[in-house]
Amino acid sequence: MPEKPRYKSETDSKHEPEPLKIRAHHLCCIQGFQGYGYSPAFVANMRAVISDLEALPSRPLRLVTNCDAICVSCPSKRECTAQESHLSRRIKHMDLAVLDKLGIEDGAVLRADEAFQLINSKINSPSDVEDVCRTCKWRQKCIWYVQAGKSLS
């Protein structure tokens, strides 16, 4: 039976949607996702987050540098949450690189569609992409990474 998403969906509430917490570098990963991931639960949750954003492109996102709606189902969540772990520092570096290139603060709220447009307009050189993704093991399975490299080479 498919696993249910663990993040709070727009359909969970009749009120205005709360901003969905998304790590800044996950704006890139979402666009590159091709069904690969750390575990079946992670993949199911990633699909659910993406489906929700496709259904409601105006949904507000809070761009953060810590655990988000995608991390909740990741087997590495504990290590990524530990402030002093190597993985935590490495991943946070990706988030900070994205926020720096976007020129926005940690915790800023943007509409999802505007956030994706901003990412693709501001991170638009091979060196920018490498600044964010150089340590990621999923690069060759990530369509955002591969297409950015191709279109810009």
From the CB of 56, what's the least distance to ligand SF4, in Å?
A: 22
Site string for ligand SF4, 26-65 (x = CB under 6 A): --xx--x---------------------------------
Q: How far is the CB of 74 from ligand SF4 (least distance, A)?
A: 3
Among 61, 91, 102, 119, binds ligand SF4 (CB under 6 A): 91
CA distance 47 to 52: 9
* Residue 99 in contact with ligand SF4, rule: CB under 6 A: no
Residue 105 φ then ψ, to 5°: -85, 155
22 binds ligand SF4 (CB under 6 A): no
How far apart, in whole angstroms, are the C-alpha atoms of residue 56 and residue 59? 6
Closer CB to ligand SF4, 61 or 80, in the complex: 80
Chain contacts with ligand SF4 (rule: CB under 6 A): 23, 25, 28-29, 32, 70-71, 74, 76-77, 80, 91, 94, 132-133, 136, 138-139, 142, 144-145
